[in-house]
Amino acid sequence: MPIYNIDSETMPREGIEAIQLKRLQTTIERIYVTVPFYKKTFDKAGIKPSDIKSLDDLKRLPFTTKLDLRDNYPYDMFAVPMENIVRIHASSGTTGKPTVVGYTKRDIDTWARLMARCFAAAGGTSGDIIHNAFGYGLFTGGLGVHYGAEKLGASIIPVSGGNTKRQITIMQDFKPTILTGTPSYVLHLAEVADEMGVDFKNLYFKSGIFGAEPWSENMREELESKLHLKAMDIYGLSEVIGPGVAIECYEEQKGLHIFEDHFIVEIIDPETQEVLPYGETGELVFTSITKEAFPVIRYRTKDITSLNPEPCICGRTHIRMNKPSGRTDDMLIIRGVNVFPSQIESVLMETKQILPHYQLLVDRKGNLDSLTVKVEIDEELFSDEIKTLQTMEQKISNDIKEYLGVSAKVMLVEPKTIERSEGKAVRVIDNRKI
Ligand code: DLL
C-alpha cells in the first residue's frame, strides 16, 4: 500500500462522517466570526453555528456562488488576516473579474498532501519522475501538481505549457514516468512528437494524470493508445483548493475518488436547488472543511455529474464522482436540445480517421440557432475526393442527430487547422454571444 493511501481513504462510512461533522462544525464556527459575508447569509437564513448538529444540517445552510465571490473581490472572503496569507491564485473565467483565492502555510501543506495522495492513487511513488505540463502561474494546475509531487518525494520537471518541441526532447532525455497536463495539450504533445519522429512507445511513461477540462471515455482510449500509458482523470477547481479534489485510481479508472476527509460533496438540481440522491445527475456542490484562508460553504461549481457511493476495488471507501460531462454554462441549447461539447466529442471519436481536434461554432440566423462541428481528419483522407468527404460529413451529422438529438452541420477540415491550446482547449465559439 503506498504511503499516502492513508487510513482515512479506506475507513468505513461512519468514520468518514464523524470526521466530516467535527471539521464542518469547526469551520462554520470560525467563518461565522471571521467572514462578514457568511455571518450575513447565515443570519438571513436564521442559522447559528450551534445549529449544525449533524451532517444533514448542512442542507440548511445557504449556497455560495461565483457571483458572491465576485461581489467580495478580491479579499473579502478570506477568513484570516492578510499577514497569514502566503499564496494567491486566481481563475480567469470568461467574463468580468477573476476569482481570487488565498492560502495559508497550512493550506499549502494540505493541498500538497492531497496532491501527493492523487499521485499515489494514480500509481505514483517517490521513484517517479513527473513531467508537469500544466501551466504555472495564477492557474492552480502547475503549482498544485508541483508541490504534491515534492511532498510525495518524486522528482518534478516543471516544464509548464508551451515550448512543445523542447518538451519532447526533455521526455526523451530526462525519462519522466508520469505525465500531467490538460488532455487537449497532451494530445498536441503527441502530435508534435509524431512530427519529430518520436514514438511514445519508446518513452518511459506509465501513468498520465489529465484534467482541468472535460474529456470523454473515447478520448481516454485515444490518449492511452497514442501515449502508451494509463490515463487517469483529475478534477478540481480554484475555489475549492485547485487540483486534488478528486482523482481516478490506477486500479479501476472508473469514477474519481473525492477526498471526503477534506471536502463534503452534494449533487443538486440546478433549477430547484434540491439535493439529489446518489446516482442522479445534477450540479456538484462542495463544502471545504479543512481550509483556513478561503473556506467555501456549499459552493455551486456548475459542473454536471453524478455520485457513486460503492466502495472501489482499490480499497478506497470515499464517494466517487463520475466523469463530469461539462458545466451548466458550457451546455449548448440548440433549438431546444441540450448538448455538452464532451457528448459531441464522444460521437466524433467513434469514427475512424477523425482526429481528436474539434471546435463547435454556434450561430443564430433570425430566431434559429445552428451548430457547426469543425473536426480535423487525417491527411490521407483529406486528399480524397470531395464526394467521399461529403458522405463522411453526412454520416457523422446523422450519428450526432441519432445519439444526441441535435442537428449539426459537420465540416471536415485539414489537419492542424484548428488552433491548439497550451492549457484548457476552447471547444465552443458561440457567435450568439457576440
Ligand atoms: O482547472 C484546477 C485543476 C488543475 C484541475 C489541474 C485538474 C487539474 P480552475 O481553473 O478553477 O481549476 O477550473 C475549474 O475546470 O469547475 C471544471 O469546470 C473544470 N474541470 C477541472 N477538472 C476537470 C475534469 C482547475 N477532470 C473548472 N473534468 C471546474 C471536467 C474539469 N472538468
CATH of residue 153: 3.40.50.12780
Q: Give which of 139, 142, 160, 138 is closest to 150, Cα–Cα.
A: 142
Residue 216, domain member (yes or no): yes
Q: Are residues 239 and 319 in the same domain?
A: yes
Please tell me the distance between residue 66's alpha carbon and the centre of ligand 1 in angstroms.
15
Q: Are residues 290 and 165 in the same domain?
A: yes
Q: Are residues 391 and 283 in the same domain?
A: no
Q: Are residues 291 and 390 in the same domain?
A: no
Residue 17, domain member (yes or no): yes
Please tell me the distance between residue 249's alpha carbon and the centre of ligand 1 in angstroms.
18
Q: Give which of 133, 139, 148 is closest to 183, Cα–Cα.
A: 133
- Strand-strand pairing, 320-321 and 230-237: unpaired
First vs last C-alpha separation in the chain: 53
Please tell me the distance between residue 336's alpha carbon and the centre of ligand 1 in angstroms.
27
The three grid cell numbers given for residue 226, joined into one nine-digit string:
497514442
Residue 2, domain member (yes or no): no
Residue 178, domain member (yes or no): yes
Per-residue pLDDT in tens (0 to 9) along the chain, 434 residues: 444 446 789 999 999 999 999 999 999 999 999 999 999 999 999 999 999 999 999 999 999 999 999 999 999 999 999 999 999 999 976 567 899 999 999 999 999 999 999 999 999 999 999 999 999 999 999 999 999 999 999 999 999 999 999 999 999 999 999 999 999 999 999 999 999 999 999 999 999 999 999 999 999 999 999 999 999 999 999 999 999 999 999 999 999 999 999 999 999 999 999 999 999 999 999 999 999 999 999 999 999 999 999 989 999 999 999 999 999 989 999 988 999 999 999 999 998 889 999 999 999 988 889 999 999 999 888 887 889 999 999 999 999 999 999 999 999 999 999 999 999 999 999 998 66
Which residue has the least CA distance to atom 28 on ligand 1? 214
Q: Are residues 142 and 206 in the same domain?
A: yes
Distance CA 355, CA 378 (A): 7
**Of 329, 357, 387, the domain-final residue:** 329
Please tell me the distance between residue 194's alpha carbon and the centre of ligand 1 in angstroms.
28
Q: Are residues 113 and 193 in the same domain?
A: yes
Q: Are 349 and 220 in contact (CB under 8 A)?
A: no
**Of 302, 329, 356, the domain-final residue:** 329
Residue 141, domain member (yes or no): yes
Q: Are residues 378 and 395 in the same domain?
A: yes
Locate the ligand 1 atom nearest the alpha carbon of residue 211 and give its number: 26
Residue 1, domain member (yes or no): no
Residue 37, domain member (yes or no): yes
Check residue 92 and give its pLDDT: 77
Whole-Å CA distances, 162 to 132, 135, 147, 157, 326: 11, 8, 20, 14, 25
Q: Are residues 314 and 385 in the same domain?
A: no
Query: Domain total for the chain?
Result: 2
Please tell me the distance between residue 251's alpha carbon and the centre of ligand 1 in angstroms.
22
Distance CA 393, CA 388 (A): 9
- Strand-strand pairing, 242-247 and 256-258: antiparallel
Please tell me the distance between residue 92's alpha carbon and the centre of ligand 1 in angstroms.
12
Locate the ligand 1 atom nearest the alpha carbon of residue 92 and give its number: 10
Which residue has the least CA distance to atom 6 on ligand 1? 141
Which residue has the least CA distance to atom 27 on ligand 1? 237
CATH number, residue 369: 3.30.300.30
Locate the ligand 1 atom nearest the alpha carbon of residue 330 and give its number: 18
Please tell me the distance between residue 242's alpha carbon and the centre of ligand 1 in angstroms.
8
Please tell me the distance between residue 280's alpha carbon and the centre of ligand 1 in angstroms.
21
Please tell me the distance between residue 134's alpha carbon and the centre of ligand 1 in angstroms.
11
Q: Are residues 256 and 357 in the same domain?
A: no
Beta-sheet strand order (sheet of 307-308):
155-157, 129-132, 178-181, 207-211, 230-237, 242-247, 256-258, 320-321, 307-308
Residue pointed to by grid coordinates 454536471:
304
**Domain membership of residue 355 as a residue range:** 334-430
Q: Which residues, including other chains, have CB under 8 Å from residue 22's CB and lie 6 or more apart?
A: none
**Of 307, 329, 351, the domain-final residue:** 329
Locate the ligand 1 atom nearest the alpha carbon of residue 327 and give its number: 18
Helices 386-404, 341-348: axis angle to 10 degrees equals: 130
Check residue 93 and give its pLDDT: 66
Check residue 434 and give its pLDDT: 62
Residue 158, domain member (yes or no): yes
Q: Are 103 and 86 in contact (CB under 8 A)?
A: yes
The three grid cell numbers given for residue 358, joined into one nine-digit string:
474539434
Backbone CA torsion sign across 58, 63, 64, 66: positive
Locate the ligand 1 atom nearest the alpha carbon of residue 303 and give its number: 18
Q: Are residues 256 and 388 in the same domain?
A: no
With the most atoms of ligand 1 within 8 angstroms of its CB, the residue from 237, 304, 331, 342 to mutate is 237
Please tell me the distance between residue 138's alpha carbon and the centre of ligand 1 in angstroms.
14
Q: Are residues 273 and 354 in the same domain?
A: no
Whole-Å CA distances, 377 to 2, 169, 219, 221, 389: 42, 27, 15, 17, 10
Residue 190 phi/psi, 5-degree rounding, is -65, -40
Q: Are residues 263 and 402 in the same domain?
A: no
Which residue has the least CA distance to atom 14 on ligand 1? 237
Asked if the peptide bond before residue 277 counts as cis, ω within 30 degrees of 0, the response is no
Please tell me the distance between residue 41's alpha carbon and the centre of ligand 1 in angstroms.
27
With the most atoms of ligand 1 within 8 angstroms of its CB, the residue from 99, 145, 235 to mutate is 235
**pTM for the full model?**
0.96
Which residue has the least CA distance to atom 10 on ligand 1? 91
Please tell me the distance between residue 211's alpha carbon and the centre of ligand 1 in angstroms.
6
With the most atoms of ligand 1 within 8 angstroms of its CB, the residue from 65, 114, 210, 213 to mutate is 213
Q: Which residues line ligand 1 (CB under 6 A)?
A: 91, 134, 139-141, 211-214, 233-238, 242-243, 301, 303, 324, 327
Which residue has the least CA distance to atom 30 on ligand 1? 214
Which residue has the least CA distance to atom 12 on ligand 1? 237
Distance CA 23, CA 193 (A): 47
